[in-house]
Structure 1
Amino acid sequence: MTDRDETPLTFREIFDLPVSVNLRTAARAFGMCLGTAYRLVGQNAFPCPTVRVGGRHRVLTVDLLNALGIEERPVFADEVADGVALTLFD
C-alpha cells in the first residue's frame, strides 16, 4: 500500500485513537499523504505539534483533535445502547 492509497480517517476512527498516534495516522486524519506530512514537519508547518521520539514523530491525540476543530467527543447511538456513554459522563 502506498501513502496515496490511504483514505482519510472517519470521525469514528478519530474518536477511537489512543493517547498519541504516529505521523502516518495524523496525516490520514488531515487527508494528506505521509510525504506531505514529513515535509510540513520539516518546515514546522504541520497543522498540530509533533513530538520526536527517537527517529519517529508522534502526535498527541488531544492536539490532533484541537487542530481538527473537535472540542468534544460525540456520543454514538451504539455506545448509549451498550451503556458505554453513560459511564463517560457520570
Structure 2
Amino acid sequence: MTDRVEAPLTFREIFNLPVSVDLRTAARAFGMCLGTAYRLVAEGAFPCPTVRVGWRHRVLTVELLRALGIEERPVFADEVADGIALTLFD
C-alpha cells in the first residue's frame, strides 16, 4: 500500500465505470489514498457501502455515484454527435 493519492477520476471516467469497482478506483473517485480507504472501511466509515469478495473490497458503482451525489448520467455533446445518446432515450 502507498500513501500517495492517485489522480482523481474525471467525470467521464466516473460515468464509464463498470457495474462494480475495486477499492482503489472508489478511493480515487473520492480523492483519497488507498490507505485511507482501507482505514475507513475497517472503521465502517467509508462514504459508501463496500462488499467483501475474498480478500478484496468491491464497491457497486450505483452506490459510488449516489455517495458522490450523482443522480443521473449526463449526455455529453460528442455522444450526441456520434448518435450514441439518441439510442439511450429511444
Q: Which residue does 1:60 correspond to in 2?
A: 60
Q: Which residue does 1:29 correspond to in 2?
A: 29
Q: How far apart are the structure 2 equivalents of 1:6 and 1:51?
A: 22
With the length of structure 2 as denominator, give the TM-score of the two structures: 0.95
Please report the RMSD computed on the Cα atoms of aligned residues, expressed in angstroms: 1.0
Shift of 1:35: 0.1
2:51/2:57 contact within 8 Å kept: yes
State how many pairs are aligned.
89
The share of aligned pairs that are identical, in percent, is 88
- Letter matched to residue 72 of structure 2: E
Unpaired runs of 5+ in structure 2? none
Q: Which runs of 4+ in 1 moved over 4 A?
A: none
With the length of structure 1 as denominator, give the TM-score of the two structures: 0.95
Shift of 1:88: 1.0
Q: How far apart are the structure 2 equivalents of 1:51 and 1:78?
A: 34
Q: Which residue does 1:88 correspond to in 2?
A: 88
2:21/2:61 contact within 8 Å kept: yes
Q: How far apart are the structure 1 equivalents of 2:86 and 2:6?
A: 34
In the TM superposition, what are the counterparts of 1:1-90 in structure 2 within 5 Å? 2=2, 4-90=4-90
Q: How far apart are the structure 1 equivalents of 2:22 and 2:56?
A: 8
Shift of 1:5: 4.8
Name the SS for the 1:6 alignment partner. coil
Q: How far apart are the structure 1 equivalents of 2:89 and 2:39?
A: 40
